[in-house]
């Protein structure tokens, strides 16, 4: 259905206003969500509850920086997205998506 898809590439260093943060489709429809982003060595570099696609909300979306604002190196990062949603029959479910995000500066 196209929901809860995570953008595979972000380019915050280009400063063109495009692909500056990770975009998660339909994230605003989740009852709750939690995302963890790891570097290639398995170190947690970003985590938040209540992810949002809003630009400038660096506490609730990822733009290639740590929560403290330190820029991360170019490369592949891995995410684990957990979210709760209501299906077409009104039933509540929890789901997990995992994948990779390419950070290009």
**Closest C-alpha to 17, from 70, 60, 63, 59:** 63
- Whole-model pTM? 0.89
The answer to whether the CB of 4 falls within 8 A of the CB of 29 is no
Q: Specify the higher pLDDT residue, 18 or 78.
A: 78
**What's the distance, CA 99 to chain centroid?**
10
DSSP conformation class of 49: E
Give the confidence band of 55 by pLDDT, cuts at 50, 70, 90: confident
Predicted confidence (pLDDT) per residue in 70-87, tens digit: 899 999 999 999 999 988
Predicted confidence (pLDDT) per residue in 25-37, tens digit: 999 999 999 999 9
Burial of 81 (0-12, 13-18, 19+ CB in 10 A): buried
Mean pLDDT value of segment 81-95: 93
């Amino acid at each position: 259905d196209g929901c809860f898809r995570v953008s595979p590439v972000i380019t915050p260093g280009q400063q063109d206003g495009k692909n500056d943060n990770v975009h998660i489709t339909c994230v605003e429809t989740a009852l709750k969500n939690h995302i963890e982003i790891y570097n290639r060595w398995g170190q947690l570099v970003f985590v938040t509850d209540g992810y949002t696609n809003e630009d400038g909300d660096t506490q609730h979306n990822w733009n290639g920086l740590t929560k403290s604002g330190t820029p991360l190196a170019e490369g592949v990062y891995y995410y684990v997205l957990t979210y709760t949603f209501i299906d077409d029959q009104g039933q509540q479910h929890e789901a997990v998506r995992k994948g990779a995000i390419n950070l290009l500066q």
